[in-house]
């Protein structure tokens, strides 16, 4: 009986949260949104990364003054990226995208915290992003620290609980743990957010995990 009541309560909260978010965003709809499908949005990122790897980027050729003027009052990103805060992962560069194209959230270990989820919900429900990429990367310090689990100063250890499931799954293999973490965080976004789940259900959104190789510059999809 207690378990059934809890399940009912959780369901009520989920439905209520989705309805409240729908009401909140009704008046915030972007003046324009991308016409790309989720598949096409993801392909644009893959194509951009290929240009980056091959050294034939096009984003810098765009007129930055014109882009600034166009995006000063609104934004129409076609995709979102949940990336690690690592300085070696410049998201717009590695996907060869310019101003206004990507909605980027960054946090050490590319973990799906409540604030990150809220930001990505806004990107999908209001701005109309069609793809979310959870981007892990080679030699991630946050994942390495979670594997070692040593005492650290300040609040750095607050990252550990988010990354620990990947460590439990992959053990001390750093690359395997990094990839597992990206997959787990992507699954968390798909499963824990009613807003994102609805976008996926309506075929307006895809959420995938990916891995960025620092040495080659190549991004590979993990899903």
Q: Which helix (H) or strand (E) holds 74?
A: none
Mean pLDDT for back-to-back runs of 10 residues, the chain (223 residues): 42 48 52 82 96 92 76 87 97 94 97 97 96 98 94 90 97 97 98 96 97 98 88
CATH topology (fold) of 2-221: Beta-carbonic Anhydrase; Chain A (3.40.1050)
pTM of this prediction?
0.84
């Amino acid at each position: 009986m207690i378990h059934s009541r809890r399940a009912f309560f959780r369901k009520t909260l989920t439905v209520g949260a989705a309805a409240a978010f729908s009401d909140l965003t009704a008046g915030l709809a972007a003046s324009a949104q991308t016409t790309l499908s989720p598949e096409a949005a993801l392909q644009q990122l893959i194509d951009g990364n290929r240009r980056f790897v091959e050294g034939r980027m096009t984003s810098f050729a765009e007129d930055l003054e014109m882009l600034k003027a166009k995006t000063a009052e609104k934004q129409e990103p076609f995709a979102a990226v949940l990336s690690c805060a690592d300085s070696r992962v410049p998201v717009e560069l590695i996907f060869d995208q310019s101003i206004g194209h990507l909605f980027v959230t960054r946090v050490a270990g590319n973990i799906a915290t409540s604030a990150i989820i809220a930001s990505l919900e806004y990107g999908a429900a209001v701005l109309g992003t069609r793809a979310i990429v959870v981007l892990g990367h080679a030699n991630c310090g946050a994942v390495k620290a979670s594997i070692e689990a040593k005492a650290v100063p300040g609040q750095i250890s607050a990252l550990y609980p988010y990354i620990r499931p990947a460590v439990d799954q992959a053990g001390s293999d750093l690359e395997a743990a990094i990839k597992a973490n990206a997959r787990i965080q992507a699954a968390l976004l798909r499963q824990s957010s009613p807003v994102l789940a609805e976008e996926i259900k309506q075929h307006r959104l895809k959420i995938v995990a990916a891995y960025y190789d620092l040495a080659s510059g190549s991004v590979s999809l993990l899903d």
